[in-house]
Structure 1
Amino acid sequence: MPVFERFTAAGGGESPGTPVYLAARSGVPLVELEVLLAAGGEHNPEQRPGLAAMTASMIDEGTARRSGPQLSAELERRGGTLSCHADWNAARLRLHLLSSDLEYGLELLAELLFEPAFPEHELARLRQQTLAELKRRADQPAALADEAFAFHLHAGTVFAHPLAGTPAALQALRREELLDFHRQHYRLDRGSLVVAGDIDPRRLAAAIAAAFPAGGAPIGSPAAAAMSGPGALAASSGSQRIVIVDRPGAEQTELRIGHAGVPRRHPDRVGLGVLNTLLGGKFTSRINLNLRERHGFTYGASSRFVDRKSRGPFVVSTAVTTSATGRATAEVLGELVRLRSEPVPAAELEATRNYLLGVFPYGLQTVEGLAARLDEIALYDLPLDTPARYLAEVARLQPEDLARLAETYLFPESALIVAVGPAEELRRELQELGEPEMWSSPQAIA
């Protein structure tokens, strides 16, 4: 089991300093450096979906000292890679380099963090690129199903819109808004540094002090919120809701079935991960064996609890033959009911446990894998020994624990059901479950 460390880089002025998470591993001369910031999509203003994602994408398009092409050429000469992106939870500035370039890498991250140029012509290019991607996704049944599911499950929150934004919001987005978002949220005192690889801790501390002499002191005014998100979902209650997105002539139906889940820090999250693996998290899961192997409705079906700081969703995803939409939906709901009403056989739990314990070490074999684990710990403020705790919790779970989890956190009777396919046929297929409502994506671009 790797040893994870945490220390605080000295702050400047009233700054409390910056948490630094380190996983040192010798043998391969590589290092993964990451600035993790409370600047994800959950901080989008109500009228500006996509602002967080666009701000992050613009970070590596040039600084006050170097243009985007210059940055790319310089990193290529050093054999390094850089990515800047945001998801719902956070923004990340990530570098992969030779460990001999540690000092250079940290200095570059400081430059990207504090001196981005946000060139107008690059904003125009990325805007058009994102609009084209939204238009492409509006023609993809799977993307439409995901969008419709989020729109209805997260109604009234920032999560109801695509992370990349909407056409109207992107068309209206101005450079000044990116500058303001950066000023408020790109603050290292509200983020963390994540480092993994062949690095001596003393060398790392000295390099951080040199690259961030003020300890990542604040720039601009404080952000409205730190690393904690808004409430994202209402409680799972009431009756099932059916939403149809019309795709005339489609021979397959994209199905999404689910409801509210739990935050990543929830004490039952590990147990729910085991429950989900058994239900739809591996090839031999109940849902996949049912829909694919037993009935031949689909090439594959899966389920997951989406991790967020606030409540993420639980969702089952599959694409089935349209003429089997009603039967497939009933089978999925039936599997949820079965988990709530029938004990999980000890042998099935043991097979699931062995699978999870067997695949877990693979995620810790590379520098990138170590950095991903540290990122999770930093993002959700988890204990440093989270990997060991995970293994112990998976080993401890018994069938009665899964029964409690299924009864407490699975709600087939109040599931949101989204179906993308030919509307008239889907109405007939799903009529026994209730009266469906029609929905059209607002993302379509003429």
Structure 2
Amino acid sequence: MFTRTTHHFATALVVAALAAPGCGKPKGETTPPDATPPADNGPPVAAKPTRVYQDPPPPTEPRDVQFPDLQKITTKNGLEIYVVENHEVPLITAQLVIKAGTMDNEQLAEMTASMLGEGTKTRAKAKIDQEIEFVGGSLGAGAGIHDTSVFSQVLKRDIKLALTLMADEVMNPAFPADALTKLKDKAKTGLKAMKSNSDVLADHLFQMAAYPVGHPYGRPIPSEAQIDAVTVDAVKKFHDTFYRSNNAYLILSGDITVPEAEKLGNEVFGKWKPIEGNAPINPLNGFKSYKHPPKLIVHLVNRPGSAQSDIRVGNLALARKNPEWIKLDLASDILGGGSTGRLFLDVREEKGLTYGIYTKMEPGVAPGTWRIWTKTKTATTGEMLKAIFGHIKKMRDEDVTAKEFEDVTREAIGSFPLSIETADQVAGRVRTILTYGLPNDYYKTYRDEVRKAQLADMKTMSRKFMNDVPVVVVVGRADKTEQQIKDALPDATIVHYDTDLNCIEKDTTFCAANKADLAAAPATAPAPAPAPAK
């Protein structure tokens, strides 16, 4: 992601927790009668005081907070503008979102977004940077999976300047060839860093293994040849295809009114040309069903220099707009939502197998993924896998406790107001609504939906979306971990990869056959409705 930021408007909250040590032996405690008195060898050594932790203060009732109203207007050329008013401070966050991302073309989406900041037909890069710096604002652009955004944050008095610069970048980019060459060199350097990062390898291979071949959410790591193949003409074509007024929307959050937003939209973006005829088709439409593995497979990446094993265990789950998302999110947090999750308390605190272990839900327009994320010493890889599978089984087979359920729902309800305090946070929530097709009142009713969840739902969600035959990825020393994996998961098939994530089985047909097995598996993951056109 390319970002030019001169000043950030942010606040930091620091919370300190103090624990008071114990004050020695409890009053009235005496030596048992049958204990042998110590020899008189000098002054007695005081016993190590017992640590006593103060009880936290009792929880208060969640404060009343409402997600602001989402107001929409549309300009004559089809640009949708969403306005979220907050007049507490004279600050406005603007996000111009183009409905094209890396799922449409990974290299072109990223290069096009990065090239926007390299100058336009009317302003050199230095001029754009100077203008936004002068008003103490920020301006940047970046491509995500589903869309690309140009974003800015400025004081209210400077919003027209910010929008003018944004409009100039998306409507009149210069796309200088020398800038593209530098970006490609930077991308190839980043590619080497990716392949040397065990976390990146584990996450990337997990997505590849979970999704069908060619799926936009599970593509292989790009090659240097793919990066070198990007040309200025290809970037221009991608821009001309997708960067159109009726294939975009603008979010304005902060000290602005609807009439002000409508006036600015028509003045600044009025000459932006719309797509004529049919819009580009969403590439997710090519995938009508999703399948879980029919057998347990461990995808093992041999990384000889690793001092530990990176582990991912999980599976395809549900699309972000699925009404069961909130319930699964609560169940996932009980298992691994943080330092109070079962995995953390047992696998880290009791067993000492890792510094951190957590669960993660990856959203998508199509079904996203649910996974457990952790690292462990090479020598404890097998023990870690046994512990993870044991916790998945427990979530599937037993009800959670009343306290676990009460704690996780209280946390979700109580922390929500902190996530919508600033204009930037609210703009991000609005973008989530629009990206994944959530109801406009999703965040207005969020806490009510959390309250509707029942304790029994946690077991139901676990059985439905935490598979007992998950996708397993291990990145580490194959020579030290393979036998551990076989001992911990005797029914598993191990598939080997190099650090380019190429299958390296001696039988070159094995990986293709494995993919065929996956394609033949029953469709147990929920299939989404066909995605809309762009």
Q: Is the 8 A contact 2:304 2:477 kept in 1?
A: yes
* 2: CA distance, partners of 1:286 / 1:244: 26
Relative to structure 1, is the Cα distance of residues 188 and 233 closer, same or farther in structure 2, using a 3 angstrom cutoff?
farther
**3-state SS of 2:241 partner:** helix
Q: Which residue of 2 aligns with 1:302?
A: 358
- Structure 2: how far apart are the matches of 1:228 and 1:156? 10
C-alpha displacement of 1:159: 2.8
Counterpart-to-counterpart distance in 2, 1:70 and 1:189: 28
1:87 to 125, 128, 144: 144
CA distance in 1, matches of 2:129, 2:285: 33
The residue type paired with residue 121 of structure 1 is: D
Judging changes above 3 Å, is the alpha-carbon distance between structure 1 residues 233 and 332 closer, same or farther for their aligned structure 2 residues?
Answer: farther
Q: CA deviation at 1:219?
A: 4.8
1:441 matched to 2:499: yes
Query: Paired residues, what number?
Result: 433
For residue 250 of structure 1, give the secondary structure of its aligned residue in structure 2.
coil
Counterpart in the other structure of 1:111: 168
From 121, 139, 153, the counterpart of 1:64: 121
Looking at CA atoms only, which structure, 1 or 2, has the larger radius of gyration? 2
CA distance in 2, matches of 1:399, 1:299: 29
Q: 2:269 aligns with which of 209, 212, 226?
A: 212
Residue 25 (structure 1) aligned with residue 86 (structure 2)? yes
Question: In the alignment, which of 281, 298, 302 is matched to residue 337 of structure 2?
Answer: 281
- Check 1:395–1:384 CA distance in 2 against 1; reply closer, same or farther (3 A cut): same
Alignment match of 1:244 (pick from 285, 300, 324): 300
Residue type matched to 2:214 in 1? G
Q: Secondary structure at the match of 1:158?
A: coil
Q: Which amino acid aligns with 1:380?
A: Y
Structure 2 match to 1:136: 193
Corresponding residue SS for 2:189: helix
Which of 228, 232, 239 pairs up with 1:182?
239
Gaps of 5+ in 1: none
Gaps of 5+ in 2: 1-65, 503-534
1:158 match? 216
- Contact kept in structure 2, 1:10 and 1:18, CA below 8 Å: yes
Change in CA separation of 1:59 and 1:223 when aligned onto 2, cut-off 3 Å = farther
* Partner SS state of residue 177, structure 1: helix
Whether 2:481 is the aligned partner of 1:420: answer no
Offset, 1:412: 2.3
Letter of the 2:158 partner, please give it: D
Q: CA deviation at 1:146?
A: 1.5
Q: Comparing both chains, which one has the higher relative contact order based on Cα–Cα distances under 8 Å and sequence gaps of 6 or more?
A: 1
TM-score (norm 1): 0.92
SS of equivalent residue, structure 2 residue 445:
helix
Do 2:201 and 2:501's aligned partners in 1 also have CA atoms closer than 8 Å? no
Query: Are the equivalent residues in 2 in contact too, given 1:50–1:162 (CA < 8 A)?
Result: no
Give the letter aligned to residue 314 of structure 1.
W
Please list, as runs of the form range in 1=range in 2, the aligned pairs for 1:228-243 lying within 5 A after superposition. Answer: 231=287, 234-243=290-299
Question: What are the superposed Cα offsets for residues 355-395 of structure 1, whole Å, 9 maximum, x if unpaired?
Answer: 11121111111111111111111212322221122111111
Task: Out of 376-385 and 305-314, give the one that drifted further.
Answer: 376-385
TM-score w.r.t. structure 2 length?
Answer: 0.77
Distance 1:18 1:381 in 2: 18
In structure 1, the partner of 2:417 is: 361
Structural RMSD (CA): 2.0
Alignment partner, residue 43 of structure 2? none
Contact 2:154 2:162 survives alignment (8 Å): yes
Partner of 1:308, secondary structure, is coil
Alignment partner, residue 529 of structure 2? none
Q: Within the alignment, does 1:74 sit opposite 2:139 as a pair?
A: no
